[in-house]
Structure 1
Amino acid sequence: MRSRPTLEWAPGPEVLALAPGAADVGAVAEIVAGGGVVVLSGAGISTESGIPDYRGETGSLRTHTPMTYGDFVASESGRQRYWARSHLGWRTIARADPNDGHRAVAALQARGYLSGLITQNVDGLHQAAGAKNVIELHGNLDRVICLQCGTTSAREALDRRLRAANETFEAEVTRINPDGDAELPAEAVSSFHLVDCTTCRTGVLKPDVVFFGENVPKSRVERCYDLIDDANAVLVLGSSLTVMSGFRFVRHAAKSGTPVLIINQGLTRGDPYATHRVNLPLGQALTDLTDRL
């Protein structure tokens, strides 16, 4: 396995002088037309499917603190809070349909323009739109893993078990967050019953996603680096790149001279590294992009 560079790289003044963002995808289309593009998508591509993002103008981090890995493993009350809220919130995620942005990405892949697709999202909407070989950087809410024996299982099966264990559980959801966590009153959470792993009978169940404060598996990170190293360009879609798990790939690409293209509404942490930036809604921008190609 190749070692990765650890030296910091700072953008030059010509990069820092970039305009705030174009309102046309023409320059992006010219580079994508050459193929070999790796897409890195974030929560912004799923907002048009009814799933909020974390850091946009209405991002949930403005009013919501996501569950951390430390809180989840530290206490049963923390797990009770997560599963009560996620039990209801996941239903919204599971019912969500792909939007024009997801369908455009799948079309770009089918036409041979993409050499890889990495998503920071845990909603599975890229695959639902027809995309193949998606690297789910942060996992997927449709899977559950036992922290004791490592067995993975379908979220639908867990949902049936939780429904059976909480037949009288009722609560009004006030907000759904990108991780499927719904906001509920404390009294509703306290009445929720947990279930254990069906394989080892005692293990703690966790969604097979990377919580805040948890590391992305090293092998998954290396697969992403391999794609970035072989890419002709990196196309960032709907991500503020605030967290290092995705930002490191943008910085790595820019350091090696690979063009970085960003389509996002609002500023991103990767803007100083971008060759071209577009400030448009993803559905509109990506539909235009596929039409041009």
Structure 2
Amino acid sequence: MVRPGIGPGIGNGNGNDQTRSVADTRNDRNRVFADAADEQLLQFAESHPRLFVLTGAGCSTASGLGDYRDRQGQWKRRQPISGQVFISDEAARRRYWARSSVGWPSFSKAEPNAAHHALAAMQLAGRLALLVTQNVDRLHQKAGHRNVVDLHGALDSVSCVDCRHSLSRDTFQALLLEANPWLHSLTAAHAPDGDADLELEDLACMQVPVCSLCAGLLKPDVVFFGENVCRKKLQHAMQALAMADALLVAGSSLMVYSGFRFCREAQKLGRPIVIINDGLTRADSLASLKVSGECGRRLSTLAANLRD
């Protein structure tokens, strides 16, 4: 999808139009594109040299991690547990940790894919104002990306809700399995965010480790469904967006407001938006350019063809 301002004479969002055509771009270097969308994406990036990037689950699917929504933006499986339910419902909390005990080993071993490496290369080249991710897998950091804002936190640590004592998720996994040896024998299909499609009726016997300092409740260091994003992270991200030339969304349906708010803010600031995503997004009507296709391939082509 191409909206006004994309193509020959790309608007840069600051009132100064660039007159560089696709043909000009193609002729000044031996560049190889699979389709016109790759060329349009390159034009956009070269006309907006400092990109604010927002990534979602679609950036990590090629690493073997599932996503929550289908191409229409609808839930593929049950809605994630809410923060309120996790805190208040002991039975739900046991179910969460039982499923997580099965899903965590595979989740923690996931490796960055082409999308993560391409964005890390673009940052190294000075092309990014900031990268904000809705993912909780730390794959951007594993790819060598620095200065990443983990908008929804990360699953690799657990903290006490009372005293804030923290421990690694690996350490918590060892404690969980030590207290419940029978968890070793459980198997289930993997689900998004280190979860597993595990259905157990009776978990009354399950022992969930508590804080070693105050016996408080331990919770993953992530923003659960219905919880608020850290205000400091949000302020930092909004400041970076104000300094950027444009917003690039990769692999997100933007159905959750915590991500969609950046598109709303970009629109207010007059910053153009480009979206790389398979399927509908909440911000399709706001985008200057919408490109379908696998994030890794699109971003790798972009990173390889950007001017030094």
Query: Which range, TM-score by smaller chain?
Result: 0.7 to 0.9
Give the match for residue 290 of structure 2. Answer: 277
- Provide, for residues 150-179 of structure 1, a one-character-per-residue CA deviation record: whole Å limited to 9, x for no partner: 122211111111121112324544332222
* 2:73 and 2:253 in contact (8 A); partners too: no
Kindly provide the amino acid, as one letter, of the partner of residue 214 in structure 1.
Answer: E
1:208 and 1:125, CA in 2 relative to 1: closer, same or farther beyond 3 A?
same
Question: Over the residues paired in the alignment, what is the CA RMSD in angstroms?
Answer: 2.0
Aligned to 1:112, the other structure's residue is in SS state coil
Q: Does 1:163 align with 2:177?
A: yes
Contact 1:85–1:189 (Cα < 8 Å) also in 2? no
Distance 1:97 1:23 in 2: 30
Q: How many residues align?
A: 274
Which among 182, 194, 200 is matched to residue 208 of structure 2? 194
- After alignment, is 149-158 or 180-189 more displaced? 180-189
Matched, 1:28 2:41: yes
Residue 189 of structure 1, CA deviation: 4.1
Q: Report 1:258-269 matches (<5 A).
A: 258-269=271-282
Relative to structure 1, the CA distance from residue 173 to residue 189 in structure 2 (aligned partners, 3 Å threshold; closer, same or farther) is farther
Asked whether the 8 Å contact 1:145–1:207 carries over to 2, the reply is yes
Q: Is the 8 A contact 1:115 1:227 kept in 2?
A: yes
In the alignment, which residue of structure 1 is the partner of 2:251? 238
Correspondent of 1:252 among 265, 268, 272: 265
* TM-score using structure 1 length: 0.88
Separation of aligned partners in 2, 1:177 and 1:190: 23
Kept in 1, the 8 Å contact 2:65–2:193? The answer is no
- 1:291 correspondence with 2:301: no
Query: Is the CA contact (8 Å cut-off) linking 1:234 and 1:258 kept in structure 2?
Result: yes
2:54 and 2:131 in contact (8 A); partners too: yes
Question: Residue 14 of structure 1: CA displacement?
Answer: 6.6
Structure 2 portions without partners, runs of 5+: 6-34
Looking at structure 2, the residues matched to 59 and 84 of structure 1 have their Cα atoms a distance apart, in angstroms, of: 28
Q: Give the residue type in structure 2 aligned to 1:67.
A: I
Quote the offset at 1:191 in angstroms.
4.0
- Could you tell me which runs of 5 or more consecutive residues in structure 1 were left unpaired when the two chains were aligned: 1-12, 16-21
TM score, norm. by length of structure 2: 0.84
1:63 CA displacement: 2.4
3-state SS, counterpart of residue 84 of structure 1: helix
1:37–1:234 contact (8 Å) kept in structure 2: yes
SS, match of residue 37 in structure 2: coil
Q: SS of the residue aligned with 1:67?
A: coil
SS class of match (1:141): strand
Name the aligned partner's letter for residue 83 of structure 1. W
Question: Paired residue for 1:99, among 94, 105, 113?
Answer: 113
1:278 maps to amino acid: V
Aligned-residue offset at 1:60: 9.0
User: What CA distance in whole angstroms lies between the structure 2 residues aligned with 1:188 and 1:105?
Assistant: 44
Kept in 2, the 8 Å contact 1:36–1:114? The answer is yes
2:229 equivalent among 216, 220, 223: 216
Give the C-alpha shift of residue 187 in structure 1: 4.1
Whole-angstrom distance in 1 between the partners of 2:285 and 2:41: 16
1:28 positional shift = 2.2
Change (3 A) 1:66 1:132: same
- 2:12 corresponds in structure 1 to none
**How far, CA to CA, are the matches of 1:274 and 1:141 in structure 2?**
31
Residues 10-65 of structure 1 deviation map (CA, whole Å, 9 limit, x = unaligned): xxx979xxxxxx86222222232342111100000100111111112498932222
Larger Rg: 2
Larger deviation, residues 230-239 vs 154-163: 154-163
Pair 60,80 (structure 1): closer, same or farther in 2 beyond 3 Å: farther
